[in-house]
Amino acid sequence: MHEVLQDWDGENALLSFDARTGSHLFIALHSRRLGPAAGGTRLKTYPTPADGLRDATLLARAMTYKMAVAGLPMGGGKSVLAVPGELSPADRHHLLVQHARNVETLNGSYSTGPDVGTSSVDMDVLHEYTDHAFGRSPARGGSGSSAPDTAVGVFHGIRAAVAHVNGDAALTGVRVFVQGCGAVGEPLVGMLVDAGAVVEVSDVVPERVDMLVRKYGVSAAPPDTINVECDVYSPCALGQVIGAAEVPLLRCRIVAGAANNVLVSPDDGERLRQAGILYAPDFVINAGGAVHLIGYEGLGWDSDRVAAGLVGIGATLAQIFTAADAHGISTDRAAERVAEARLESAPAHGRTLSR
């Protein structure tokens, strides 16, 4: 874990161990240049605790860039609860309480929300011990799950990518492979089908695939494949799916999905460019969840303002695609330049977000 932190460019990390559950709890604060840090809480089993910490640091950095490109007054952070396996309900509640207390010790410099392995119900538990939990259930004063709006943002991003490649944003007849049909992937499939796309799906949970096949008439692919022939490959499960070994296997013109940290290394964006594949940078296209949670719960936006923010994801991607072409660089690097310019122009100390 020491090596992970040595290689990281973030501000601060909180590490603790819960003896009762055998879990490691990590909170990584990458940057508060634009405001207090925010990021989801991921509950997952990792090969080693160091892998959990590395995931937290990488995701926190992505959150910094996500907030910056989306124009939100927040910095980037992330929580990872690295559990040894499935927890009993009592142990899960205990672990969430410990996590909430850790969040509270940061005195408002970090707020968290749902992520892989957690939900609005879990945020309700956190809120009993800290005020810094986004995405609570509506019954508890929150805005509920941000996953549907994440899907909306990805949908707008796919349309922007298709428009850049085809000269037309229409999705009629466009072949889209959605990998991962959970809280984001499922509503995305519905929107794509309604827009006339020809959709193929895969998921590690067969029941999810069966339901979508019955509901929408989509076709199914094996869960561990990425070389499906399509126009758009949309990874919507976990990240780290496209590296040097995977780029030659892709049979698509566009990569645009909701997963965080899709690329294995920074060089993979350039590899996709050299292969003639347009990449919608994940920290841009999947910003809909942040727009939802921070817009509704942090900035007091109404539904029209949130909807406009989601549409704006497509417009931002269109600008990034154009800039990448103009400068002969990867779309990933073009998006990073947008984020870095905003970070560099911000005051030394970020704004305080009123809650």
Would you name the residues annotated as active-site residues? 78
CA dihedral 147, 149, 155, 158 (to 10 degrees): -80
Pairing assessment for the beta strands 37-44 and 254-255 based on DSSP bridges: unpaired
Residues 6+ apart with CB under 8 A from 310: 149, 152, 153, 156, 288, 291
Burial classification of residue 244, based on how many CB atoms lie within 10 Å of its CB (0-12 exposed, 13-18 middle, 19 or more buried):
exposed
* Euclidean distance between CA atoms 36 and 14, whole angstroms: 15
> Residue 278 is inside which H or E element, if any?
strand 278-279
Which one-letter DSSP state was computed for residue 133?
B
Pairing assessment for the beta strands 175-179 and 110-114 based on DSSP bridges: unpaired
CA dihedral 271, 277, 282, 286 (to 10 degrees): 180
